[in-house]
A and B are shown apart, each in its own frame.
Chain A
Amino acid sequence: MEIFVQQLINGLTLGSIYGLIAIGYTMVFGIIGMVNFAHGDVFMLSAFIALIFFLIFTTWLGISSVVLALLFVLVIAMVLTSLWGWAIERIAYRPLRGSFRLAPLISAIGVSIFLSNFVQVAQGARNKPTPPMIGDVIVLFQGESGYNVALSYKQIIIMVTTAVLLTIFWYLVQKTSLGRAQRACEQDRKMAALLGINVDRTISLTFVIGAALAAVAGTMYLLYYGVVSFNDGFVPGVKAFTAAVLGGIGSLPGAVLGGLIIGLIEVFWSAYFSIEYKDVAAFSILAIVLIFMPSGILGRPEVEKV
């Protein structure tokens, strides 16, 4: 029972990170119908940006409050990663509108390979550990066998940040004119353009928002695991894509729900079955979901028009 509660907490934390990445996948897929394969590597890049700025703030500028430093890091990482997201869309995806169907995916694979190796060349191939950030925990209750169920401050920060940013983001998509433009482009790009929406700009902004949320996920990932390496983008990226597909690709609540489910499955699988096969579990779920229910939990079934 204690183990179950503890794993539930861990799973929700991990799931909120996956959910944040999954939103990037699902939004891009919703608006231009491509699998942004490079999104996982954008996430990894943002973790590196966060790491470097965290070091700058703590060691050079001498900000002693970790929470304050983290807040600055989060904002800067979001801004700079958004710039990357924008640049990637501008260079690698925008020229391909109207090209053959697999072209954007191949281009995205190229971007993915480029980014992970760029970081490898620029920062070195070794794992980068951060100085310990926040180690305190709250013991929720103690089991009979002496197993403490603990909720760490890190996990609280991660869940609260995720919840706050998701609310802001939800407001942005549901209530602002930008969100309306985006939903209009999702439904019919040509018609939206005819009605005076700048489609290119809207698509760019979608990438920017996706990258900013990936940066939040990257910062939280760094905070949670305290280590990052250049090939950390691939597996979380695939898992987040699985989450997006599971929740129903194109659906924003679906992405968050899918992220939480994937996080819980991963954690419980590791705890109760085998830790070696946890990635196999995630990949299998991806294959099974795509084969048997490609529209996911909350998605709409896709109608193919000739």
Chain B
Amino acid sequence: MNAPPITTASAESPALPNRFDLTAAIKDGLKTALIMLGLSIPILAYKTDQSGGDLWLSPRWGLVAILCALVFGLRILLHAFMATKAAREATPSPHQATEFVHAEPNAFQKTSRFAIPFFLGVALAFPVIIYFIQGGLNESRYWVDLGILILTYVMLGWGLNIVVGLAGLLDLGYVAFYAVGAYSYALLSTTFGLSFWICLPLAGILAGFWGMILGFPVLRLRGDYLAIVTLAFGEIIRLVLINWTDLTNGGAGISSIPRATFFGLPFTSGEGGFAQTFGLEFNGMHRIIFLYYLILALALLTNFVTMRLRKLPVGRAWEALREDEIACRSLGINTTNVKLTAFAIGAMFGGFAGSFFAVRQGFVSPESFNFLESAIILAIVVLGGMGSQIGVAIAAIVLVGGPEILRNLTFLQAVFGSGFDPNEYRLLLFGAGMVAMMVWRPRGLISERSPTVILKERKAISGSLVKEGHG
């Protein structure tokens, strides 16, 4: 037993081991800045401009200088931070030996109990709040549209979370099922005239069916091979949608898809429309608000089903599979079937979201379903913390809503010039965010896990104690 000696105060503590060394920091900073210069020499320093077939270069050394200076400064700051952190870690804290399995619920966990009802309340009341803030139905259109967009991604994130977060299968082709759902509704409604309410479950079933067809051969593969094969399937489906022009009208897409009805009442101004039946004045916003509540209901359904499934044997098998596949197999779990259910159920929710997408847009084309879309949904799941429902919702709000809100901040345009559009940098930040998340917080923003099997009392487990994805 050689526990570290517990020193009470720093009265006699010797010179701290990793003192902030300015010359070393500057040296290192210069080195990093030099690497940054090397990285940015052609790509940033010269921009290729073109008119017609001619290309010429316009130098931008100012930008490179700013970036190098920035990297230099950040590196020195990092050194200073590490020095203090090292100093903090060098003095042992009295509670160092205790593990944090039985840690008291921290501030976050205490507030998170109220966070869920709060978010739910905000989501339910959102159109009303916006109505009063903006002062009118037509004025609030932009915000309700944004709400619909965010909720679509929340739903997709929750759907993918079943596959990635719970079952631990990295699916890079999730957008394929979104596409299957969207095209199912588009084709069934335009060719057979089926209504949205019949097509919605059909689209989900079809997408789930496709999930099973695609999943069956690939689910025996190990994790990263599985990811690549799902990516390949996603791309194959998109390319088939582009090239099978007889069925899908190719790259031009399918337009004039029938709109959703209020359980049979169309949102039209005339006789028998939604507005007239309820004695309201006709307004196009009724449909938008209806769509908002529709996607909210669908997203909550996804969440509800997921939470319930987690408590069923199949859900426990998913999480067990994520933790240790070999142990699962030795305990007699049919891993292929368990993976297949996760894949199919995730695909089904993707299909629901897809048919909602089609009914909202009134238009679908293969370009909406490229790999980038899969990557965005995956980024939402990864950044939110794989397996955490509330984390995924927060990540979707931040990643989808964030750039939109940034766009409306006028002072950013004053800083970066008038043509500044944060949406251009959105994917750049997504990519960097995914890397940063894996490096610093591989469990995501919300990294705690609430176990589904409880003995006597409910305890939160720190995500770092959960050993995911080995085996």
- Which residues of A pack against B, CB within 8 Å? 34-35, 45, 48-49, 51-53, 55-56, 59-60, 80, 83-84, 87, 91-92, 95-96, 99-107, 109-124, 126, 128-131, 234, 238, 241, 274, 276-277, 279-280, 283-284, 286-287, 290-291, 294, 304, 306
Q: How far is the CA of A234 from the CA of B238 in the complex (A)?
A: 14
Q: Are B35 and A83 in contact (CB under 8 A)?
A: yes
Residues 47 to 72 of chain B near chain A (Cβ within 8 Å): 47-50, 53, 55-57
Q: How far is the CA of A100 from the CA of B444 in the complex (A)?
A: 13
On whether A113 and B35 interact (CB within 8 A), knowing A51-B48, A126-B50, the answer reads no
Whole-angstrom distance between the Cβ of B106 and the nearest chain A Cβ: 23
Q: How far is the CA of A55 from the CA of B46 in the complex (A)?
A: 10
Q: How far is the CA of A117 from the CA of B38 in the complex (A)?
A: 19
Residues 187 to 241 of chain B near chain A (Cβ within 8 Å): 217-218, 220-221, 223-225, 227-229, 231-233, 235-236, 239-240
Q: Using a Cβ–Cβ cut-off of 8 Å, how many residues does chain B contribute to the interface with A?
A: 64
Would you mind naming 15 contact pairs between A and B with Cβ atoms under 8 Å apart?
A92-B439, A100-B469, A102-B168, A102-B170, A102-B224, A110-B431, A113-B428, A113-B431, A114-B427, A120-B424, A123-B47, A129-B55, A277-B243, A287-B217, A291-B220
Top 7 closest pairs, chain A to chain B, by CB: A110-B434, A114-B431, A113-B431, A100-B469, A107-B438, A110-B435, A283-B232
Q: Are B57 and A287 in contact (CB under 8 A)?
A: no
Residues of B within 8 A of A111 (CB): 431, 435
**Contact partner, B428, options A53, A121, A290, Cβ 8 Å:** A121
On whether A122 and B47 interact (CB within 8 A), knowing A129-B53, A283-B236, the answer reads yes
On whether A128 and B55 interact (CB within 8 A), knowing A102-B224, A123-B47, A279-B235, the answer reads yes
Whole-angstrom distance between the Cβ of A78 and the nearest chain B Cβ: 13
Which among A49, A114, A128 has the greatest number of chain B C-beta atoms within 10 A? A114
Whole-angstrom distance between the Cβ of A281 and the nearest chain B Cβ: 10
Residues 350 to 401 of chain B near chain A (Cβ within 8 Å): 371-372, 375, 378-379, 382
Kindly report which residue of chain A lies nearest to residue B233, judged by CB atoms: A287
**Contact partner, A113, options B170, B425, B427, Cβ 8 Å:** B427
Q: Are A280 and B432 in contact (CB under 8 A)?
A: no
**Contact partner, A106, options B170, B217, B240, Cβ 8 Å:** B170
Residues of A within 8 A of B168 (CB): 102
On whether A110 and B432 interact (CB within 8 A), knowing A102-B469, A128-B55, A234-B371, the answer reads yes
On whether A105 and B224 interact (CB within 8 A), knowing A124-B48, A126-B50, A238-B231, the answer reads yes
Kindly report which residue of chain A lies nearest to residue B168, judged by CB atoms: A102
Q: Are A95 and B55 in contact (CB under 8 A)?
A: no
Q: Are B239 and A122 in contact (CB under 8 A)?
A: no
**Contact partner, A100, options B41, B224, B467, Cβ 8 Å:** B467
- Which residues of B pack against A, CB within 8 Å? 35, 38-39, 41-44, 46-50, 53, 55-57, 168, 170, 172, 217-218, 220-221, 223-225, 227-229, 231-233, 235-236, 239-240, 242-243, 326, 371-372, 375, 378-379, 382, 424-425, 427-428, 430-435, 437-439, 442, 467-471
On whether A290 and B228 interact (CB within 8 A), knowing A117-B427, A119-B43, the answer reads yes
Which among B218, B235, B433 has the greatest number of chain A C-beta atoms within 10 A? B235
Q: Are B239 and A291 in contact (CB under 8 A)?
A: no
Q: How far is the CA of A277 from the CA of B278 in the complex (A)?
A: 52
**Contact partner, B42, options A52, A99, A107, A290, Cβ 8 Å:** A52
Q: Are A112 and B431 in contact (CB under 8 A)?
A: yes
Residues of A within 8 A of B431 (CB): 110-115, 117
Q: Are B43 and A96 in contact (CB under 8 A)?
A: no
Q: Are B442 and A100 in contact (CB under 8 A)?
A: yes
Q: How far is the CA of A126 from the CA of B51 in the complex (A)?
A: 11
Q: How far is the CA of A55 from the CA of B435 in the complex (A)?
A: 33
Which among A131, A280, A284 has the greatest number of chain B C-beta atoms within 10 A? A280
Which among A110, A114, A126 has the greatest number of chain B C-beta atoms within 10 A? A110
Kindly report which residue of chain A lies nearest to residue B326, judged by CB atoms: A306
Whole-angstrom distance between the Cβ of B215 and the nearest chain A Cβ: 12
Whole-angstrom distance between the Cβ of A230 and the nearest chain B Cβ: 11
Q: Are B228 and A35 in contact (CB under 8 A)?
A: yes
Which among B43, B243, B371 has the greatest number of chain A C-beta atoms within 10 A? B43
Q: Are B55 and A55 in contact (CB under 8 A)?
A: yes
Whole-angstrom distance between the Cβ of B223 and the nearest chain A Cβ: 6
Kindly report which residue of chain A lies nearest to residue B467, judged by CB atoms: A100
Residues of A within 8 A of B228 (CB): 35, 241, 286, 290
Q: Are A113 and B42 in contact (CB under 8 A)?
A: no
**Contact partner, A122, options B43, B229, B236, B438, Cβ 8 Å:** B43
On whether A109 and B378 interact (CB within 8 A), knowing A55-B57, A121-B425, the answer reads yes
